[in-house]
Structure 1
Amino acid sequence: MVVQLNNNVSLVRISDLKTTTLFVFKTNLRNLSYLYHELRLLLLMSQYEHIIGKPTYIVTTELEEGKSSRVVGFILEYYEHGSLSTTLDSGKPFTVRWKLGWALQILDALIHVIRGPDSFYSDLKPDNIVFTSPFDKLVLIHFEQAALLESERESAMAYSLGKILWCIFEGGSYTHNSMDEKYEVPANVVFPQYKSTPRPVKELIRMLRESLGYVSISQPDPTAQAKMSPREVVEASQNVWESRIFRMEKYVKVMSRLREGNYDKSDELLLGVPLRPKFIYVFQKLQDLARHEE
C-alpha cells in the first residue's frame, strides 16, 4: 500500500507486475453488500468514456481450509489528474464554455447510467467525478448505490445534478446546505445563492431542484454566523431542523399519495419531483448554450 485515502480506498502498487503504476484498491469490510453491489454494477455496465472502467483485478482472501475464498475488494485504474472537487476549490479561472463542457460530460454519463442495469447513481458530488486528462475529460467513480423505486430514480438524481451544476458555475465544491458543514476553502457564495452562474443555467438548476422535500433552508451569512452567540447558534439550528422536519413529513405524505395514484394536481405541484426535467432535456439546453459560447 502506498497511501490510504479513506477507510475503504487506498492507492497501491502491485509487486507482481514489477511496475511503479499506481492502482486504486477498494474494499468495504464493514458492509460487504455495498462492495458486492458496486462490483456487480461495474461488471454489468457497458464500457463508457465517462464512467469508470471495469475492475482490473478482483481481490480475495482464503477462508478456512476446504472452503472457497471470499471477495474482499477489487483493483481499479487510478486517475492521477485529481477530482472535480479539487479543481473547483483551486481557484483556477475557467470560461463558461469550459464549464459547459464539464456539465455536458457529466450529463452524458448520467444518461448512460439511467439506461444501464440499475439506472441509478446515488452519490453524485464533485469528489466522485475525476479527470482522465488535466481539467478536461471527466469520469464518474464510486458506484455504491442506495435503493430507490425505478420510477423515482431520475428525479432523485436530478436534485444532485442541480447541485453539481451550481458547484461548477459558482466555482466551488461546497454547498453549505446544513448548519454543521465545514470546508477548508472559504465560501464566497452559499448554495443556492448565485454570483457567477449564467441566467439560463440558473433556470435549469431551479427546475432540477424543484421539490417540497428537498428545498434548501436559508441560513445566516457565514460572517454573521461567526458573530452569533452560542444561544443564537442553537436557536438558529433548531429553527432550521424544525422547518426541515416539517417539510420532510409533508413530503413523505405527498409521496405516499403519489405512489398510490391517489393525488391531484396540487399535490403534484407541491411535490415538484414529477415536474423536474429529464436529463436529455437539460443536456439539449446546455448544448444550445454551448453553441452560443463558440
Structure 2
Amino acid sequence: MAIPWDSLKLVFHAHENISIVQIGGLADDETLFVFKALMEETHYMYHELRLLLSMKSHPNIIARPHGLVMKSRQGDSEPGIVGFLLQLYPGPTLQRKLQIAGPTITMAEKLSWSRQLASALIHLRTQGPGYFPDFKPNNIVFAEPSAANELHHTPTSSVTRPILLDFEQRGTWYTWAPPEVRYIEYLELLALTSGEGQIRQRYTALLKQNFPHWSPEPGFLKRSISNARDGYNFAWTSLTEEGRAKAQMYAFGKVLWCIFEGVPSPDGPRRVESFLEDFQQNQNFPEFQASPPAIQQLIRRCTAGALDWGSQNSGVVRDGDRIVPWGREACAHVTAAEAQDAATQWWQNELALAEEFVQYQYGSRNGREDIVVPEHVAQLRRDIQKRPSLEEVVNVLLALEAQHETT
C-alpha cells in the first residue's frame, strides 16, 4: 500500500528515526502506526524493508510493513519512498520490563519468553541472510496475548509475547557482539574513521590483505541492494553460515542472562557502558544470583569467548560518576590522565588481539600447518565451537518448563 506523506498525522516523535503517527482522512480510524525513516544511510532502510517483505510471518517477529510512505520530490514527477509504516505493539520493551519488574517476573514467564525468542531466531535462520545481529532487550517489544490472532496464531500461554524489532542489520553495541565480530569491526572502524592518516592506511592495508574484496570506498559500503543480500555489516557477512549461527548465540546468552537475572543490561554499575543507560541494578554479567543451575550452564556455553570469563579486565571501571583504572575504585585521588592511560593500554592490547585473530583466522596463515597459532586465537576458536545450537537451547528450556510445571 502506498501512503502519501502529507496524509500522516504526527502523534509524537519517539526516536531519531521513529515517529508514532496516524493516517489522516480515514473516518473514525485512530489506529496508531510506527513510521520509520532514515535521513542518511538509506541503504539500511531498504535492506530492512526488503527483509520484512520477504520473510514468512512468525508470532515473535514484527509483522510485515503496513505500507510505504511516498513523497514527491522537487523537480521529479515520480514520488519516492521516504519510509514505511509498521504495526505498533502496545507493550514495553524487554529492557523496560526488566527495569521496572525484574524481581517479580515469574520463572514460567522467563522460560516462555526465552523459548519464544529462540523459536524466532530459528525461523530467521532460514530467512534472507539468516542472522539477527542487533539482538538485545531494547529491540524486543511485548504484544498483548490477544494480538496473536493478527498472525493467526494462538498464544502459548497467558503471558505476553516478545516480538523482535529492527532488521536494519547494521550491527550492535560491543556489549552484545562476540569477539570474532568485534575484532573485525575494530579494524574497519579505524580504517574508515580514524583522524590520523597513518592509522587509516595501516588498517586499510590490513583489511585488504586479509579480505581482498574489502574496500574503503563508499561504493563498496553502500553497494546496490541486489548485491548486498546478506546486509551491509562487513563483520557479519564475512562469517560462514556456521560462524553466524555461533555468533548469534553469544548475544542470545547475554539476553538469557538479563531475563533470568531480572536485570535490563549486562553492564551494571561498575561498567563504563552503564553511563549510556540510566539503570539501577546491582550486578554485572556474568554474576549469577537468580538463574537455575541449568540456565547458568547454558549461558556459560552461549557466551563462551566473552572477556568476562577470562582473566582480562576492562581497563577502566565506573566509580560513581568517575571513570578510574581497574582496581582503583576505592582511591580518592585518581587523575584523569591515569584513567586515560589505563584505557589506552587496554585498547592497545585489544587491538593487538584483534589483528592477530583476523590474520590467523582469515589471512594467509589460516589453515597452514607450519604456523604456530597464538594461544588466544586457538582458545577463541575452541570457545566458538562450545556455543550450543538454538535447538539445544530449546530442548533445555522445554525440559525446564516441564520440570517447572510438575513442581
Q: Could you tell me the TM-score, scaled by structure 1's length?
A: 0.89
Question: In 2, Cα distance between the equivalents of 1:275 and 1:218?
Answer: 22
Residue in structure 2 matching 1:142, options 127, 144, 166: 166
CA distances 1:114-162 after superposition (whole Å, capped 9, x unpaired): 1112201110010000101175211101001143234221111111101
Kept after mapping to 2: 8 A contact 1:10/1:26 = yes
Matched, 1:106 2:216: no
CA offset at residue 181 of structure 1? Answer: 3.1
Kept after mapping to 1: 8 A contact 2:307/2:313 = no
2:282 matched to which residue of 1?
Answer: 188
Letter in 1 for 2:244: R
Kept after mapping to 2: 8 A contact 1:43/1:54 = yes
Matched, 1:115 2:126: yes
Kept after mapping to 2: 8 A contact 1:170/1:196 = yes
Kept after mapping to 1: 8 A contact 2:359/2:366 = no
Residue in structure 2 matching 1:10, options 3, 16, 19: 19
Q: Could you tell me the TM-score, scaled by structure 2's length?
A: 0.65
Q: Secondary structure at the match of 1:191?
A: coil
1:79 matched to which residue of 2?
Answer: 89
Question: In 1, Cα distance between the equivalents of 2:259 and 2:107?
Answer: 9
Alpha-carbon distance change, 24 to 226 in structure 1, aligned in 2, over 3 angstroms: farther
1:179 matched to which residue of 2?
Answer: 272
2:255 matched to which residue of 1?
Answer: 164
- After superposition, the CA RMSD in angstroms is 2.6
Map 1:214-293 → 2, pairs under 5 A: 214-216=306-308, 218=313, 220=317, 225=329, 229-231=334-336, 232-256=338-362, 260-262=366-368, 269-271=379-381, 272-293=383-404
Residue in structure 1 matching 2:244, options 145, 150, 153: 153
Moved more, 284-293 or 215-224: 215-224
Give structure 2 stretches of 5+ with no counterpart.
1-9, 146-158, 171-232, 321-327
1:68 matched to which residue of 2?
Answer: 78
Alpha-carbon distance change, 131 to 154 in structure 1, aligned in 2, over 3 angstroms: same
What is the count of residue pairs matched by the alignment? Answer: 292
Question: In 2, Cα distance between the equivalents of 1:258 and 1:51?
Answer: 40
Moved more, 277-286 or 227-236: 227-236
Alpha-carbon distance change, 66 to 87 in structure 1, aligned in 2, over 3 angstroms: closer
Moved more, 73-82 or 250-259: 250-259
Question: In 1, Cα distance between the equivalents of 2:290 and 2:342?
Answer: 28
Q: Secondary structure at the match of 1:234?
A: helix
CA offset at residue 222 of structure 1? Answer: 5.0
Give structure 1 stretches of 5+ with no counterpart.
none
Alpha-carbon distance change, 57 to 114 in structure 1, aligned in 2, over 3 angstroms: same
Question: In 2, Cα distance between the equivalents of 1:166 and 1:184?
Answer: 19
1:22 matched to which residue of 2?
Answer: 32
Kept after mapping to 1: 8 A contact 2:272/2:318 = no
Moved more, 244-253 or 280-289: 244-253
CA offset at residue 40 of structure 1? Answer: 0.2
Letter in 2 for 1:14: I
User: Larger Cα Rg: Structure 1 or Structure 2?
Assistant: 2
Kept after mapping to 2: 8 A contact 1:122/1:157 = yes
